[in-house]
Amino acid sequence: MKILSPLRSLATRLSLSLPLLCALSAGAQSAQTSSVHPAQFDQGRLWQAYTNHFVSSDGRVVDPMRGDMTTSEGQSYALFFALVQNDRARFDQLLGWTQSNLAHGDLGQHLPAWSWGKAKDGRWGLLDANSASDSDLWIAYDLLEAGRLWHEPHYVELGKRLAALIARREVADIPGFGPALMPGPVADFHVGGEWILNPSYEPVFLLDRLAAVDPAGPWADVAAMVPVLLEKSARGGFAMDWVCYSHGAGFTPCQANGKRTPPPVGSYDAIRVYLWAGMVAPAAPGRQRLLRAIPGMNGYLQHYPAPPEKIAADGTALPTPGPVGFSAALLPYLEGSGDQQAIAQQMGRLKSQLDEKTYLFGSSPTYYDQNLAMFGTGWADNSFQFGESGELLVRWSR
């Protein structure tokens, strides 16, 4: 893949060695904290409730709303939260199931399939062998940081091998735009003259971390283009779920398969764009540019008590409130804008929808809401943060 030379200086700036990151981590941990005080939720209890409700005894994350299907997304998020909670036994269980069932036994040689579950003939197994790059990126990051924090070289080596696979198969240099992480294998998302992207698939802190570990890879260049992607693809200041790019026409909202029907929206994927942007370390390059590219949600919450479930393709917010997980996802984003009133309002909504008996959010708890809640509240409660080079800062290692 061609690397754009104007971005090489950024790659050099981020080229920290793994030992150096280890040395810097302790100092960074005390510096990078959110100002949402004090801790509002018991993060250990949230993790335990999640595993009790959504994780099987063999390490499979189950989504009851989709026929008990398992996705690489679910596995990648659970690995992250196991690391945040210093739950190595669960981490190894999740990793073992993921490798055995989604990656033919080796994540260093095979990108994980994105879905596994019960087929129409009643048998359990892979439903779609294609990969999902956001999950792949998270798993590589989980392995790299688990290796650093738990002093386990095997994790680091496996994470590097997986990152190399992602770079070879899921990163493209788009003519007229630049390097980008495609949603999956490059050929699957280059349809005719269009390139199909998902802005929520590219958390900058993950890319920055991979750039620090693998400075020769495409990661710094991809990270440098994420603010540009948001600036050019947002509508009315709102992020979109899926966007299509063609040289000359630029970016337009679209569907994953490139078709324009039903109407494209900003919704369950796009809500993560605000979450990831807000969790970038304050001193990290590009953070303010990321936040400035998507001001729509902050403006909307000046007039409404809950975020909208959907944004139309023209950037108009539709009136139906989003689920409780949306409120959690916006906590880091709102912190970035310094809007304490909006933070308090969303925090109040979260508290009102937490079942103290189950310690799950929502009247009918869903897999996705709980993940968004653990990301948003865990960051706000300083259970974890991300350093300037994307390194994971966790409470238990301080």
Catalytic residues: 73, 134
Q: Is 40 exposed, middle or buried (0-12, 13-18, 19+ CB in 10 A)?
A: middle
Return all residues near 190 (Cβ < 8 A) that are at least 6 apart. 172, 182, 196
Distance CA 110, CA 328 (A): 33
Q: 290-302: b or e for each residue (b if 16 or more CB lie within 10 Å)?
A: bbebbebbbebbe
Query: For residue 321, what is the DSSP state?
Result: B
What residues form DSSP beta bridges with 85? Answer: none
Q: What are phi and psi of 185, to 5 degrees?
A: -50, 135
User: How many CB atoms are closer than 10 A to CB 357?
Assistant: 7
Three-class SS of residue 355?
Answer: strand
Q: Is 154 exposed, middle or buried (0-12, 13-18, 19+ CB in 10 A)?
A: exposed
Q: Is 35 exposed, middle or buried (0-12, 13-18, 19+ CB in 10 A)?
A: exposed
Helix, strand, coil shares, percent, the chain, to 5: 50, 15, 35
User: How many CB atoms are closer than 10 A to CB 128?
Assistant: 13
Encoding tokens for residue 317?
Answer: 């917010």
Encoding tokens for residue 288?
Answer: 């303010």
| Helices of type H across 35-178 | 43-54, 72-84, 88-102, 133-149, 153-170
Cα angle value 203/232/327 (rounded, 5°): 50
The answer to whether the CB of 47 falls within 8 A of the CB of 61 is no
Encoding tokens for residue 232?
Answer: 């050019």
